[in-house]
Amino acid sequence: MPRVAIVSDTHVPSRESEVPDWVVDELARADHAIHAGDFDSKRARDRIASLANGDLTAVRGNTDPPTIDAPRAETLAVGGVTFVVTHGSGSPVGWDERVAETARAEVPDGEAVAVAGHTHEVVDTTIDGVRILNPGSATGAAPADRATMYVATVADGTLDVELRTE
């Protein structure tokens, strides 16, 4: 059963100096990692990619420098579940609708789970049939009040998601 580490908004080094050790451990244990943007530096992106053993799906966030070569949206399938990864943007008001719209645009004829960041708030909700996951900030970068991430297991099209925090 594939294990997927889902993180976002690490903001290293602008808001935090490093990714917490417990997040590092979860990334290293995963079969696949997803980062929904705002690494903040190429060094942070490269570190997370190395922890994920190169099996990383990542998108650019609004604070990522141009040296981070990543798309604004990316789609991947794991264990019969299609994930659409995007960062999200703009005001927190309507953020979930915009994320769901991106997922529907990327996978117009099928079911998708949207993974996004941007707000630093943990979200697991469904909007118009699209499940939306926001793991919060893996470093607890403000405005988050603690470091959070999701660990998902996927089998035969079934997704089980657990929130992890320190």
Domains of the chain with CATH codes: 3-165 (3.60.21.10)
pLDDT, tens only, 13-35 = 999 999 999 999 999 999 999 99
CB 113 within 8 A of CB 133: yes
pLDDT, averaged across the chain: 95
Give the phi and the psi of residue 120 in degrees, each rounded to 5.
Answer: 65, 15
CB 57 within 8 A of CB 81: no
Q: Buried (b) or exposed (e) across 10-30, using 16+ Cβ within 10 A?
A: bbbeebbeebbeebeebbeeb
pTM of the model: 0.96
pLDDT, tens only, 91-107 = 989 999 999 999 999 99
Mean pLDDT, to the nearest integer, of 77-90?
A: 95
CB 57 within 8 A of CB 34: yes
Q: Please list the residues that pair with 124 across neighbouring strands.
A: 133
Q: Give the other-Cβ count within 10 Å of 72's Cβ.
A: 13
pLDDT at 109: 85
pLDDT, tens only, 40-71 = 999 999 999 999 987 999 999 999 999 999 99
pLDDT at 97: 95
pLDDT at 150: 98
Q: Which of residues 128 and 36 earns the better pLDDT score? A: 36
Name the pLDDT band for 110 (thresholds 50, 70, 90).
confident
pLDDT at 56: 97
